[in-house]
Amino acid sequence: MGMMGEPVRWSDEAQEVIGGDITTAAAYLTPAGGVVVTAVATFGIADRDRGMVGFTTSLGFPRKLERIISDPRVALGYHAREHGFSVLPWFVLAQGRASVNLQPSPERVEAIIPQAERYYGAAKRGPVWDRLLREYYYVRVFADVSVERIVAWPSLDAAGDPQVAGAARPGPPGPQRPPKNGTGPRIDVDRAAGQIGMLAHRLLAYQGGDGFPVVVPVHLAGHDQAGLRLVAAPGLLPPGGRRAGLLAHAYRAQLVGLSTRTFTGWLEVSPGGGAVYAPHTCRGFVAPPRKNLLLVSNGVLAKFGVWRAQRRGTAERLEQLAAEKASSAPGPQSAGVPKQSKR
């Protein structure tokens, strides 16, 4: 929220990008002061009058949800125009506090389906498809982000002076303490460079000067034993060393043929601006390039994820975590989960 509790209201250009992108890069914090950045489904979820943006995810990713509930400060980087509904070459960063709706009402889920179909194509219907895709279509988790700041650059590389709506941008964060196990690469750098070199989009995320994650576009300029050599527009990467997340991904129309790699690691930026990223962990997947095959895969994975979440009591555990967090940090900015509907 802006000053005096008024919602942050961003520009028409930023709204076109936020409302038009099919996917975005979502960043959330870790207890050690690091940041994880992943690609999420957004398909235009935004309410400028209320100062809200958002995305959907699944109970099959409990670690992400646990981290967001524990510390609701998040950021969304709108960075790619392919297969969406905007052609503006802007990079838009939204920062705010997320409220996780673990069990949204059936009405809310039904209402989002036509919007999702605009981006992903008509939902498959019929006895077999309905049974296969029930969890994929209807067992969703919503993250509603109350925006505190929108930073919008009129170029996809985020160069130059941006528009800022909401809270003023903080100064650069200071360096972080190195991890006990060292800052150097912990996975094969040659392999990591090969994996992300084939993917069209690369985003780096770190904790900013006011504690919120920052997501910025970067380019791969080479690699060596020290790590991946990254290049970003001037002023985007703070000097010194810090934990950082890296996302590389590519996708086709309707997110068919999605390929993604997410890294955690250590970023070191020299006073001259040279940046070296030492990857510590890597996860990723490649989705089938054919729509029906993709839907079958998504349906099976969603069923397994929901079954596993039910078996482990994931929703109940996350709701308890949210209640504990809310009771220990009262006030309008405390983390929490909205009151859930009975399904």
d(CA 218, CA 214) in angstroms, rounded, equals 12
Model pLDDT, residue 343: 37
Beta carbons within 10 angstroms of residue 156's beta carbon: 18
Is residue 292 a contact partner of residue 300, using CB atoms and an 8 Å limit? no
For tokens 């000097």, name the residue.
239
Is residue 33 a contact partner of residue 67, using CB atoms and an 8 Å limit? no
User: Which pLDDT tens digit goes with each residue over 314-325?
Assistant: 888 888 888 888
User: Which pLDDT tens digit goes with each residue over 220-275?
Assistant: 999 999 999 999 999 999 999 999 999 999 998 888 888 999 999 999 999 888 99
Model pLDDT, residue 330: 52
User: Which pLDDT tens digit goes with each residue over 159-211?
Assistant: 999 999 999 999 999 999 999 999 999 999 999 999 999 999 999 999 999 99
**Banded pLDDT at 305 (limits 50, 70, 90):** confident
User: Which pLDDT tens digit goes with each residue over 128-164?
Assistant: 998 988 888 888 899 999 999 999 999 999 999 999 9
Model pLDDT, residue 300: 87
Model pLDDT, residue 340: 44
d(CA 41, CA 21) in angstroms, rounded, equals 9
Of the candidates 129, 273, 126, 266, the residue with the CA atom closest to the CA atom of residue 206: 266
